Copies of this chain bind each other. A is one copy, B any other.
Amino acid sequence: MGTTKTEIYTEEQNRLASLLKVLAHPARIAILQYIIDQKACICNDLVDELGLAQATISQHLKELKSSGIIQGSVEGKSVCYCIDEKVWKQFQLHFNGFFNQDVKIDRCC
């Protein structure tokens, strides 16, 4: 019990839900927005910008990175994170496919 029954859904449903889950946390939204605004940043910038512990920021970055939406490249002692434009555009396609379908109500409610 307690586990999502992924077998019963389509691949697309699981995939979309899992992409949404990555973004469904204010810290990750804030991190993404910061990276977008600043073009790129390092972990410490985010520790200063948001009020979270370094371990916590690092964990959120890991999650964003493993989804592919950001990428990190080692630069000396620090790691430079930025948006992966290709993946970002794939995300857009997925989201737009779902959210921008037209919803016609013609019976009930």
Contact status A92-B82, CB under 8 Å: no
Contact of A82 among B9, B85, B105 (CB under 8 A): B105
CB distance from A24 to the nearest CB of B (A): 4
Q: Interface size on A (CB < 8 Å)? A: 53
> Are A100 and B92 neighbours in the complex by a CB distance under 8 Å?
yes
Query: Quick one: closest B residue to A17, CB to CB?
Result: B26
Question: Are B103 and A8 closer than 8 Å at their CB atoms?
Answer: no
Q: Which chain B residues lie closer than 8 Å to A30 at the CB level?
A: 9-10, 13
**Mind listing 18 A-B residue pairs with CB under 8 Å?**
A5-B52, A16-B29, A17-B28, A21-B21, A29-B98, A36-B101, A36-B103, A39-B104, A39-B106, A40-B108, A72-B109, A81-B109, A82-B105, A82-B109, A83-B103, A85-B103, A91-B99, A92-B100
